[in-house]
């Protein structure tokens, strides 16, 4: 693959971390990888495991793509990236099944489905296929961390308000909003959190994007 003619300037590590957490948060801003964000976040623990799995796959795939991109022809890069991701997902899937069987029984299907998450391949395509190794790793790490942060945030909210517990420890005497644990609750939680992030942006004196958060 020939080097691109003009190169985007490489952002600093701090900038990348800020992007992953807030300004380009994969769940709240880019609205990618939503399936697990709604599906496995009934408890904070499930959310954390999912976040760590995605973080690992993202960093490992970014690393692999940076290493082998010289030999990948431009026309077949998407299938090759997909196979790289699928390989790492298989590895992580087996690790999760061996290390945390109890949680894996609940969210196993969604770990396998990391392959189809748009966030990972979009980071490979937009960043790791053009930038040097160091920043690519930081970018993968920041995006994974931002995703894990979003997962834990949604999971904690749903678990605390819906189940009255946090991390399995009883927090409240009853279950104030049981319906948050239902399928519908996940959609409501994410919608409200997205609106909250928009509100913070407005409060900081920034204009909202035309579509009102999210690029979709």
Partner 1 sequence: MPDRGKIIDVHQLAVPGLPPTAPEQLRLTTTTDPDVPIAITVVAPATDRPETAVLTTAATLDPKLAYQLTHLETGTQWIVAPSLIGTALTVLIAAALVQNFVFTRYLGLCVFFGVSRKRDTAIGMGVTFTIVGCLSGALAWAIDRFVLGRLQLHFLQIIIFIGIIACLVQTVDTILRKVHRPLHRKFGIYVVLITTNCIILAVPLLNALNQRGFLESLALALGSGLGFALALFLMSCARERADLAPVPIVFRGLPIAFILAGLFALAFLGFSGLRV
DSSP single-letter state for residue 74: G
Query: Least distance to partner 1 from the beta carbon of 173, Å?
Result: 26
165: which strand partners? 170
Separation of alpha carbons 92 and 43, rounded Å: 21
Contact (CB, 8 A) for 170 and 48: no
43 is an interface residue for partner 1 by CB under 8 A: no
> Considering only residues 16, 17, 31, 107, which one is a binding residue for partner 1 as defined by CB under 8 A?
31
Instruction: Identify the DSSP state of 216.
Output: -
User: Which of 47, 135, 140, 186: binder of partner 1 (CB under 8 A)?
Assistant: 186
**Tokens linked to 181:** 């644990």
Closest to partner 1 by CB, 134 or 209 = 209
Contact 38, 181 (CB under 8 A): no
Let me know: does 20 contact 143? Beta carbons within 8 Å.
yes
Site string for partner 1, 137-176 (x = CB under 8 A): ----------------------------------------
E strand or H helix at 170: strand 169-170
From the list 7-15, 85-93, 132-140, 154-162, the region that binds partner 1 by CB under 8 A is 85-93
Q: Which of 12, 14, 192, 206 binds partner 1 (CB under 8 A)?
A: 192
| Residue 26 found at the interface with partner 1 (CB under 8 A) | no
Tally Cβ neighbours within 10 Å of residue 8.
Answer: 10
Residue numbers 110-129 binding partner 1 by CB under 8 A: 112-113, 115-118, 121
Interacting residue with partner 1 among 10, 64, 87, 165 (CB under 8 A): 87
């Amino acid at each position: 693959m020939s080097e691109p003619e003009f190169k985007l300037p490489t952002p600093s590590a701090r900038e990348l971390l800020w992007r992953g957490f807030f300004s380009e948060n994969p769940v709240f801003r880019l609205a990618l990888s939503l399936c697990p964000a709604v599906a496995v976040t009934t408890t904070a623990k499930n959310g954390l495991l999912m976040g760590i799995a995605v973080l690992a796959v993202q960093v490992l795939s970014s690393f692999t793509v940076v290493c082998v991109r010289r030999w990948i022809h431009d026309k077949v890069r998407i299938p090759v990236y997909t196979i790289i991701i699928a390989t790492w997902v298989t590895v992580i899937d087996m690790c999760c099944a061996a290390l945390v069987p109890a949680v894996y029984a609940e969210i196993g299907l969604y770990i396998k489905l990391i392959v189809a998450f748009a966030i990972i391949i979009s980071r490979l395509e937009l960043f790791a296929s053009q930038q040097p190794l160091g920043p690519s790793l930081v970018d993968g790490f920041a995006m994974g961390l931002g995703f894990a942060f979003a997962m834990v945030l949604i999971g904690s909210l749903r678990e605390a308000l819906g189940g009255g517990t946090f991390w399995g420890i009883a927090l409240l005497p009853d279950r104030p909003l049981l319906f948050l644990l239902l399928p519908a609750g996940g959609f409501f939680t994410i919608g409200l959190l997205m609106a909250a992030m928009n509100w913070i942006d407005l409060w900081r004196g920034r204009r909202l994007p035309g579509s009102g958060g999210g690029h979709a």
